[in-house]
Amino acid sequence: MTDRAKALVVHLDDDYRIGDGDTGSDLLIVAISMLKGVTRVEPLVSTAEDHLARERVRWEMRQRLLAVLDDRSSSGE
């Protein structure tokens, strides 16, 4: 027996404004709603915690990249 999906989570590349009518997330909501099998689309509102989490990840990735570059310059490459 195969597994069945009851829901899908869609992650957007940026925060889009809700309620702009023909722009922002409204167009995405309408487009996703038109897909076969979709019964409901609900936006999740971005919070300060979301912003902090993104900045933390960005900072950690920057630190890792700098560490790799530093290792390469130390080894004479």
- Assign 63 a pLDDT band (cuts: 50, 70, 90): very high
Count CA within 13 A, CB hemisphere, residue 39: 2
Condensed to tens digits (0 to 9), the pLDDT of residues 10-40 reads 989 888 999 877 778 999 999 999 999 999 9
3-state secondary structure of 12: coil
Average of per-residue pLDDT values in the chain? 89
- Assign 70 a pLDDT band (cuts: 50, 70, 90): confident
What would the two tokens of residue 75 be? 């080894």
Residue 74 has pLDDT above 80, yes or no: no
Rounded mean pLDDT of 66-70?
91
